[in-house]
Structure 1
Amino acid sequence: MIGTIIASLVGGLIIGLLGKFIAPGDRDNIPLWLTIVCGIAGMFIGSYLYAALYDCSDMNNCTNGVDWWRHVWQIVVAAILVVIASGLTGRSTHTGHSRRA
């Protein structure tokens, strides 16, 4: 149980950061905890979508080796969630100072 929680947090951090990296635009305006939440949700939703589309009976074991396509789905879903979270939080990296020449 505790191992599953730790694996979800570490995996969520990695998948969330990769999702933030490939998300279009400047998406560094969401906090780290929200990136982890997007990564964890991306892991679960991406795995479910991959298993449903490729007709895998076991969501965690669609191939005999490393299932790279499942990870690609997870990262893409996490990137979409990062974009959504960035739009919903409304945090801006703009400091309000303008320089006029």
Structure 2
Amino acid sequence: MQSTEESDNFQRQVLESLDRLTTNLGQLSTDVEQLSTDVEQLSTDVEQLSTDVEQLKQELALTNTRVDTYQKASNQVVNLAFGLIATATITIIITTVTR
């Protein structure tokens, strides 16, 4: 009788272990599905960030072009101003000397 009881206890323990394993396997499956969803979301985010970086590169290139143009224009304005000042100075000197 004891061997039947021991056998029943053993079977019960095995069934309980199988139930726990089944529960754990179900939880693992849920966790893997959640991780898969998270990875897909991260992939989408990375793609969006890549697109944003490319747009920023294009905007930066445009900004650099504008800054270069403004620098050249500023240099031309400074050169023009010095030219006008030099011309005005020479004109005043010539007018003063010829009087």
TM-score (norm 2): 0.26
Larger radius of gyration: 2
Task: State TM-score, norm by structure 1.
Answer: 0.25
Relative contact order: is structure 1 or structure 2 higher (C-alpha 8 Å, sep ≥ 6)? Answer: 1
**Structure with the bigger percentage of helix:** 2
